[in-house]
Structure 1
Amino acid sequence: MSKVLFVYAKGGPPLGYALSRVAARSAVHLLALSALPPTVATSADRLCASVLSPSEPERQDLVSLIVSRAQAVGADAVVTFSEYAVVAVAEACEKLGLAGAGNSCALARDKRMMRRTWQDQGISQPRFRPVATEQDLHDAAAALRFPLLLKAAWSAGSTAHRTLRHADEVPAAWERAREVMAESAQLGYAELHVAGAGADFLVEEIVQGTASEWFDQEGWGDYVSVEGVVVDGDFRPVCLSGRMPTVEPFTERAGITPAALPHDAQRRIVALARDAVDALGLRNCGTHTEIKLGADGRMWVIETAARFGGAMTVPQIEEVFGLDLIGMLTDHLLGRPVAWPDGARTPQEAEGAAGSLVVLAVDGEGEAWPDRRIWDFPTVREAVPVSAGSRLSVVAENSLPDGTLVPVYDPAAGANTMAALCLLSAADPETVIRDFRTLVDALPHVLPHGTAEAQS
């Protein structure tokens, strides 16, 4: 039987979901670089041939650790679905002579190198500057046009994003962004292979997006993501995911599969995503490419990742298109034939729609809730009216336990201050948007009040 080394770290699709799909194709040996979620620990023992949690000294040379563990278990493939481990796994696969993302994987991880590559290729993107010091940020602010967005070069989940509207905001933005990266590292949301990555930043102009010229329905955000895979260097688009508007500055609130776009708009977006992915020279990996939508058909590539979309993006694709992307990629890495889609699937080919909502303590306008609330999904399920035929559930692995005080939303920390992740299945994407708007409006009213004891 074939053997796969699964390198787990925080981020990506829920571990329980991903692990079950890989285990259906091969024997799995789990290398856990992050603590396993409590909801998955029992099933991991059942699904895996072995589970190893290396010590901190063993993790100092991560590539060597992955290589030695793969050799020890006789792995025929090495996989990861975490943004924070993709570079190390790609380098390990190169050393092992196994199929992987390839030696240019870092271009899809370090946003500075990514942007420089696209700049050289003439690919549409916001104007930017790399910054490593506060003085660099001052210099960049003088050269670029406000408003600007400061972001960490190796972050994920909108962590350490800071909006700058005036030059006098530079010192505070620089200090807070660096603080958040240090806090994220303590939580396990940080690059695992590249030393000092938390100190790398870039700043970019905030381009003016619009959703109304692309979507017929209100409630959609002004950007989409193209989900896909690279197979032996060939980009294969799978589908488009839509979004609700982000929360200030650019924290994602919800992802919806599929994006309800006309055929011509989808075709143009996929073509730009193909240019962006092709420029990075990836070999064998999932891809997740975010594209900003502007007026008069303008588009800008925001970023690409050498892995599948995180949160519930991949499970949503399986639900509405019947494509088990994790299983399919595992088969491909093991050298088996895979029937990849001929092109990006359209809304007309979907069986219903699915969406995932990040629960943040802000209302539909992005304003903070007036008081503290306790997360309690049974209350939400009973009290929030969703459309007939819609099914609302909670992703336990990505949510706080019921009875936990909902964190105060911190714009700089982004998704680090989420309380829960909810999943909705519905008849069509328009219904998902409508039900999510209802849910967002209802949460600060139906959730139990936080007690003084809980708040302390």
Structure 2
Amino acid sequence: MKNIIYVNVLGGPPFQYVLSKLTKEVNVWVVQTEDIAEAELNDLKSLINHLVMPEDIPNNVSLITFLSDLAREISAEAIITFDEFHLDEVSQVNDKLGLKGPGSSVTNSLRKDVMYTFFEKHGLLNRKFFASSNPTEVLNHHIDFPYLIKPSNCAGSLGISLINNQEEADDLESILGKTTQLIEETIDTMPYKSHLKSQPLIKEGMLVGDSSCWFGENSPYADYISVEGVVINGTYHPVAITQNLPMIYPFTETVSMSPCTLSVDKQKLIVDKIKPCIESLGLDYCGTHTEIKLLANNEIAIIESAARFAGWSIIPQIEASFGVDIISEYMDIVYNKESQIKSDFFNTLENKKAYSATISLLPADEHSQPWKEQIVYRQAPDLTSVIAPSSTCQFTPYIMENDVIYPMSEMSGAWNSFGKVFLVAEDEETLLSDIESIRKNLKTLIS
């Protein structure tokens, strides 16, 4: 039986979902580089036979060396991760051992300041930007209002600030200091990542979207979508488009939904435009998650593109909505069982089976207005009491009973989330109604 190594951390699809696919035909050795909650640890142990915990990795050995030695010891045929922060190490080990992975150009899909140069060459950046590791240079470089300040190598909207006018810009030095402090504090919780503390900051013009141009007037949907796909031997294959509900100000994502309700022509326009750009990044074998801003006049801009499958439950959404098991299809290629991906983007569009969503549980109401006070998480919510009888849902908490849920922090992005709900409904109207009901009643149900 084949052996593979899966580096499991916070990012990417739920590990329970991933491992249910990986363990069908192979022995999976999970390398857990960070501490994990007891309930999740029990889930992990129930799914696999080989688990490497953080304390099992010698302090004086780099993660690259450890993974390389383990791979040789067990004759691993694949080393994979879907976590943003470990793609670089895993790619280096794969290259070193001649295994399939994102490849030596993976930095092009990790560093935003690097990937922006590729977007710009393909006419898909559509904003000015400046990047520097020197905060003073970022402070002094002129970008028209409104503009963003963001780290170049983070995820989950961590550390992003929106500067709308001169009054807010007068406080920019303080904002840069808070951004740097937040990045450093977050990275302190991540083993092997101290080098990211010195990452460049980016100052960039804010993209102004137009959801009505794409979805129509009075649509509930946000002006950004994501395209989920894979790269196989350098060729990009889009799989499905995910749409979203509006963010909580300024950039905290709330709800992702499948299938996308844009017309087939509009979806084709998007994937045709981004395909050559994604392929120019020089990736070899990997999942992709490409975030797109929908602009006026049927124009688009790429916000960012990661060399990994999407997080939350977006990949399970694709399977629930279309019957496409993209993890297994990708792994068949990694194992050399198949040479090409089976799922075709346009066939996928015609095979809608259900409507599904991931709701990020945030301290905010159904209108994305933040709660004004902290509350204590008392119990897992009975969500079946507030959704349609025909719908199903799965609740995953990130906290323990009696933990405190604090009010929203604008710069913390996805780190504000205290759990998620994976929801499946029979039609679009029911899905939207269920989402609103869960968000409206959440505070009462958990306290």
Query: Structure 1 pair 110/272, CA: closer, same or farther in 2 (3 Å)?
Result: same
Query: 2:351 maps to which residue?
Result: 349
Contact 1:104/1:280 (8 A) holds in 2:
yes
Contact 2:187/2:193 (8 A) holds in 1:
no
Tell me how far 1:51 sits from its aligned partner: 1.5
RMSD: 2.2
Count of residues paired in the alignment = 441
Unaligned runs of 5+ in 2: none
Query: 1:117 maps to which residue?
Result: 118
Tell me how far 1:239 sits from its aligned partner: 0.3
> Could you state the TM-score of these two structures normalised by the residue count of structure 1?
0.90
Query: 1:233 maps to which residue?
Result: 234
Query: Structure 1 pair 119/295, CA: closer, same or farther in 2 (3 Å)?
Result: closer
C-alpha deviations, 1:23-78, integer Å up to 9, x for none? 11311111111224423323433433421224575475222222111111110111
SS at match of 2:289: strand
SS at match of 1:392: strand
Tell me how far 1:334 sits from its aligned partner: 1.0
Greater CA drift, 219-228 or 45-54: 45-54
Contact 1:359/1:421 (8 A) holds in 2:
yes
C-alpha deviations, 1:379-408, integer Å up to 9, x for none? 45265x323422232024xx2234433222
Greater CA drift, 339-348 or 21-30: 339-348
> Could you state the TM-score of these two structures normalised by the residue count of structure 2?
0.92
Query: 2:176 maps to which residue?
Result: 174
Matched, 1:186 2:188: yes
Query: 1:248 maps to which residue?
Result: 249
SS at match of 2:38: coil
Query: Structure 1 pair 45/363, CA: closer, same or farther in 2 (3 Å)?
Result: closer
C-alpha deviations, 1:410-430, integer Å up to 9, x for none? 111111121211111111344
Tell me how far 1:442 sits from its aligned partner: 2.9
Query: Structure 1 pair 129/283, CA: closer, same or farther in 2 (3 Å)?
Result: same
CA distance in 1, matches of 2:287, 2:18: 13
Query: 2:45 maps to which residue?
Result: 45
Query: 1:414 maps to which residue?
Result: 413
C-alpha deviations, 1:116-148, integer Å up to 9, x for none? 2222344344221113222122233x2x11111
Unaligned runs of 5+ in 1: 449-456
Query: Structure 1 pair 379/312, CA: closer, same or farther in 2 (3 Å)?
Result: closer
Greater CA drift, 77-86 or 335-344: 335-344
C-alpha deviations, 1:69-104, integer Å up to 9, x for none? 111111011111111111111111000001111110
Tell me how far 1:364 sits from its aligned partner: 3.8
SS at match of 2:85: coil
Tell me how far 1:446 sits from its aligned partner: 4.8
Identity among equivalent positions (%) equals 26
Query: Structure 1 pair 157/212, CA: closer, same or farther in 2 (3 Å)?
Result: same
Query: Structure 1 pair 81/408, CA: closer, same or farther in 2 (3 Å)?
Result: same
CA distance in 1, matches of 2:69, 2:81: 16
Query: Structure 1 pair 169/324, CA: closer, same or farther in 2 (3 Å)?
Result: same
C-alpha deviations, 1:258-287, integer Å up to 9, x for none? 111111110111122313311201110000
Contact 1:356/1:421 (8 A) holds in 2:
yes
Query: 1:451 maps to which residue?
Result: none
Tell me how far 1:340 sits from its aligned partner: 2.1
Contact 1:374/1:404 (8 A) holds in 2:
yes
Matched, 1:441 2:422: no
SS at match of 1:92: helix
Q: Superposition pairs for residues 194-233 of structure 1, below 5 Å?
A: 195-197=195-197, 199-216=199-216, 218-233=219-234
In structure 2, give the amino acid aligned to 1:29.
W
